[in-house]
Amino acid sequence: MPKPILKIALDVPLDRIFDYLSGGKVAKIGQRVLVPFGRRSQIGVVVGTADTSEFAIEKLKLVTQIFSEELPIDAETLSLVKFSADYYQYPYGQALLSALPARLRQITPAVSRKQYAYQLTDLGRQLEIETIPKKQLVTRRVLAALQASESLTEAALDEISSSARKVAKQLVVDGWASSLQVQAGVKTLAVALATASAKEPELNPEQASAVTQIVQDAAAFKAWLLHGITGSGKTEVYIRLMQHVLQNKDAQVLVLVPEINLTPQLEARFRSRLPNFPLVSLHSNLSESERLHHWQLAQSGAAKIVIGTRLSIFTPLPNLKLIIIDEEHDSSYKQQDSMRYHARDVALVRAKRLNIPVVLGSATPALESWYNATAIKSQISQAQSNKYNLLSLNQRAVSAAQLPHIDCIDTTKVNLQQGLTPQLIAALKLRLARKEQSLLFINRRGYSPVLLCSACHWIAPCMRCSSKLVVHLGQRKLRCHHCGHEQKIPNQCPSCGNADLHPTGHGTQRLEQTLAQLLPTARIARVDRDSTSRKDALVEILDKVHNQEIDILVGTQMLAKGHDFPNLTLVGVVDTDSALHSPDFRASERLFAQLMQVAGRAGRADKAGQVIIQTQFPEHELFNALRTQDYVTYANSLLLEREQVQFPPYVFTALLRAEANDYALVQQFLQHAFALARSLTDQVLVYDPVRPQMERLKGMERGHVLMQATSRPVLQHLLKNLVGQLRGKTIAAKVRWAVDVNPLDF
């Protein structure tokens, strides 16, 4: 007999589960259902069944529909989401529903529709790809993939490019290919794409030792911190570990990457080295149907390798045997709204529960991770920690590739030409003459050009945020990078009437223009949010760089990560000084990581690299550490500082954030919460309500209360009580508020 009561998680901002009547229908735990809620229908997930309810049976409603043709979400995933919801003080139902692909939150059943596959005609098989113009990149790729396989499904085409389906249809029209309808279902899989058969390098002793150690313990939980300088061959270590784990034919591996920009390169590398293992990616650049399809392939166990951004940590993976987190220090692993989870921390919990290894890789580990991996004995406390196992790769993998030479140029001592030092300009010219490539790096935050009045020093502000508007010369617009507000560039200063308004600061666009003037023969490409908003834009630019069609790349941190350009020998860092003196205690940690990463782009192959940093503070400790690429010394000195002032990782913190149209309400709420928190415990340091640096955002006035404790359980206990009590309060309904556990930004 099916149980009469279904316990259902719904996407509503209430921290509870709802009871419904099954009406005699059978529903498995983890199954999606449709239920009436208020005056509407809602999608929910069955998280339990029961014989009785604490509510009167006649008050309960019937479930409308059970999507029993779909695989239910497995118990492990449900319990991981539940754990995270509790830990991050977020309603379980909302956490669960938002972990699903959007299609599964819609009211229609998500059974896969009919789909088409494409195969080449005899003509198409004989077609020489070289005869297709280089510009038609997607066409070339689709043809190559088709030539390498029997047929490709639409889903497989989607993995090549978002326009691959269109290209395939055109190939049919042109007579190169034919299409056929295939049985749709979760089992249709991308055939390995054609890639030059990749050879297997012999591991160097450090890599070999890392692989051996992890493999020896691969059947149990262990957290490994793989600290390796850029180019030391961390990815090669990941590949060997995957090869090992995937020998078990059911096994699945989850690889987390910080940004979708990184997935194409890594994907291509994994596909060529692990061609027999179906791979899917999960990130926000997929269409909703691709996302659903990939997710279902992961859930069914058909996909053996899943590469994804932070949200993919909640993907159901029935045979997960290894988790790899690349660039583990990256702050994009932390979700900054809704449930403010950190994917790395959730990954550790997941690995522990599954009793599998988790590998955190980075050239510049987060201080939290470094702290966890090194036994630190300091003068102040005898605190020791070695929860993680440290593995170090101190050599670049390709023996000829040397570490780049780093020069800091004192910008106070030379004449700048549009923000560029003579040394940097000369170095760029030298690279052009040698037909080598250069990269100019701009730190995104704070270096965007703002509109300045030369008479009264007015700077165009955003009306809705405590921020300045950024000049976008291309569109002749001012735009707020926090809320998206846009307006025309004014003709005169609204404050004093002066007509001499000009952009100041070096945005990527201005730098691109300056370079074009100074180096008219150079082929320049810009990589930033604007230039890569179109889906395949970044891939196209990167392909051009690889094909030596670009001499100088100008861009933000998007460029700093992962890319491997053998002919790139110069990295210029234009302006980073405001990050050196930021009030954010994590600023120097971040800047160091960023600069290590960009510096790592120079001289990857057999050519020596040079890094030129323009700064007013060439003697700063950070640059000294950078010159010797000495992460360890710098990280240890930062840790000592953190310990002295009792900042994370030496204490555990949480923020209670609140915002409203009217700051008085925020204040009233936070004062109330502050008093309540203090009354609940004296083991947690509760700070007075304050306003964050960004006082106003998107028209909302903001404030927060910081809580800090030396014990994690003590802090968690307070948060649970505090949130529970606040939820019922009238004042809590007048503001938007949320708890941020282990906040990264204040």
DSSP state of 49: E
d(C-alpha 366, C-alpha 349), whole Å: 18
Closer Cβ to ligand ADP, 398 or 524, answer by number: 398
Q: Which does 464 bind (CB under 5 to 8 A by kind): Zn ion, ligand ADP, none?
A: Zn ion
Q: Which does 397 bind (CB under 5 to 8 A by kind): Zn ion, ligand ADP, none?
A: ligand ADP
Q: What's the closest the beta carbon of residue 82 comes to ligand ADP, in angstroms?
A: 34
Closer Cβ to Zn ion, 145 or 465, answer by number: 465
Q: Which two tokens stand for residue 4?
A: 């009469």
Strand intervals (E) in 151-274: 152-153, 177-182, 222-228, 252-256
Closer Cβ to ligand ADP, 236 or 368, answer by number: 236
In this structure, is the dihedral angle defined by the CA atoms of residues 318, 322, 326 and 331, taken in order, positive or negative? positive
Identified binder of ligand ADP from the candidate list 132, 148, 182, 203, rule CB under 6 A: 203
Q: Which two tokens stand for residue 270?
A: 């994994």
Q: Do residues 614 and 573 make contact, with C-beta atoms less than 8 angstroms apart? A: yes
- Spell 353-382 as b/e; 16+ CB within 10 A means b: ebebbbbbbbbbbbbbbbbbbbebeeeeee
**480 near Zn ion, rule: CB under 5 A:** yes
Q: Do residues 612 and 578 make contact, with C-beta atoms less than 8 angstroms apart? A: no
d(C-alpha 252, C-alpha 80), whole Å: 17
Binding mask 415-454 for Zn ion (x = CB under 5 A): --------------------------------------x-
Q: Do residues 559 and 601 make contact, with C-beta atoms less than 8 angstroms apart? A: yes
Q: Do residues 431 and 438 make contact, with C-beta atoms less than 8 angstroms apart? A: yes
Binding mask 482-521 for Zn ion (x = CB under 5 A): xx-x-------x-xx-x-----------------------
**398 near ligand ADP, rule: CB under 6 A:** yes
Closer Cβ to ligand ADP, 150 or 202, answer by number: 202
CA-based nearest residue to 600, from 631, 576, 634: 631
Q: What's the closest the beta carbon of residue 403 comes to ligand ADP, in angstroms?
A: 13
Q: Which two tokens stand for residue 498?
A: 């002066």
What part of residues 526-565 is at the interface with ligand ADP (CB under 6 A)? 564
Closer Cβ to ligand ADP, 324 or 660, answer by number: 324
CA-based nearest residue to 669, from 593, 626, 729, 723: 729
Identified binder of ligand ADP from the candidate list 397, 424, 452, 554, rule CB under 6 A: 397
**234 near ligand ADP, rule: CB under 6 A:** yes
One-letter amino acid for residue 731 of the chain: I
**207 near ligand ADP, rule: CB under 6 A:** yes
Tally of CB atoms within 10 A around 7:
19
Which stretch in 203-211, 419-427, 439-447, 449-457 sits in contact with ligand ADP by CB under 6 A?
Answer: 203-211
Closer Cβ to ligand ADP, 182 or 398, answer by number: 398
Cβ-in-10-Å burial (0-12, 13-18, 19+) of 685 comes to middle
What part of residues 453-482 is at the interface with ligand ADP (CB under 6 A)? none
Strand intervals (E) in 592-722: 610-615, 652-660, 685-686, 696-697, 700-709
Query: Which residue in this structure is represented by tokens 């730098």?
Result: 511
**233 near ligand ADP, rule: CB under 6 A:** yes
Q: Which does 228 bind (CB under 5 to 8 A by kind): ligand ADP, Zn ion, none?
A: ligand ADP
Q: What's the closest the beta carbon of residue 631 comes to ligand ADP, in angstroms?
A: 13
Q: What's the closest the beta carbon of residue 260 comes to Zn ion, in angstroms?
A: 24
Which strand ranges, in their side-by-side order, compose the sheet holding 305-308?
Answer: 279-282, 305-308, 252-256, 320-325, 357-362, 222-228, 389-393
Binding mask 9-28 for ligand ADP (x = CB under 6 A): --------------------
Q: What's the closest the beta carbon of residue 393 comes to ligand ADP, in angstroms?
A: 7
Q: What's the closest the beta carbon of residue 138 comes to ligand ADP, in angstroms?
A: 25
Q: Which does 204 bind (CB under 5 to 8 A by kind): ligand ADP, Zn ion, none?
A: ligand ADP
Identified binder of ligand ADP from the candidate list 232, 263, 335, 569, rule CB under 6 A: 232
CA-based nearest residue to 550, from 533, 537, 563, 568: 568
Q: What's the closest the beta carbon of residue 468 comes to Zn ion, in angstroms?
A: 9
Q: Which residues bind Zn ion (CB under 5 A)?
A: 453, 455-456, 458, 462, 464-465, 480, 482-483, 485, 493, 495-496, 498
Q: Which residues bind ligand ADP (CB under 6 A)?
A: 201-204, 207, 228, 230-236, 397-398, 564
